[in-house]
């Protein structure tokens, strides 16, 4: 079953997960690793000419990281898109298509 919820009137947390392979010759690897650390990302793979970084955060955070590493060269990119859950104890917002009988 798929549920779609609208959190526009609720307090919620959101995340966007990204894996990005960045061109990284040995002389610029340190710079890319520093950027990943500043954004609380993790280097999850090191190859001869690239680094793969895992980063999770708001969509704005992910986009800001991409803007900074784009000049190095993005070789491959995979993202989940924004996912969200309502914070703590609040009145439940009904999922789209959900009724009171459910």
Average pLDDT of the residues of the chain: 88
Residues 6+ apart with CB under 8 A from 63: none
pLDDT at 102: 47
CB 16 within 8 A of CB 81: yes
Mean pLDDT for the stretch of residues 36-57: 97
Which pLDDT tens digit goes with each residue over 53-100? Answer: 999 999 999 999 999 999 999 999 999 988 888 888 766 655 555 554
Inside any domain, residue 98: no
pLDDT at 61: 96
CB 78 within 8 A of CB 24: no
Q: What is the pTM of this model?
A: 0.77
Inside any domain, residue 49: yes
Q: CA-based Rg of the chain, rounded to a whole angstrom?
A: 18
Question: Tokens 């549920």 belong to which residue?
Answer: 3
The domain total for the chain is: 1
CB 51 within 8 A of CB 11: no
Inside any domain, residue 6: no
Range of the domain at 78: 20-86
| CATH classification of the domain holding 39 | 3.30.70.1150
């Amino acid at each position: 079953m798929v549920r779609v919820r609208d959190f526009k009137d609720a307090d919620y947390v959101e995340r966007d997960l990204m894996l990005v392979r960045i061109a990284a010759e040995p002389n610029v690897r340190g710079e890319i690793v520093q950027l990943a650390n500043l954004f609380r990302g993790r280097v999850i793979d090191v190859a001869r000419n690239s680094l793969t970084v895992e980063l999770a955060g708001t969509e704005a955070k992910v986009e800001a990281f991409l803007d900074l590493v784009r000049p190095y060269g993005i070789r491959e990119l995979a993202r989940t898109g924004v996912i969200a859950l309502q914070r703590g104890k609040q009145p439940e917002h009904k999922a789209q298509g959900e009724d009171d009988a459910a």
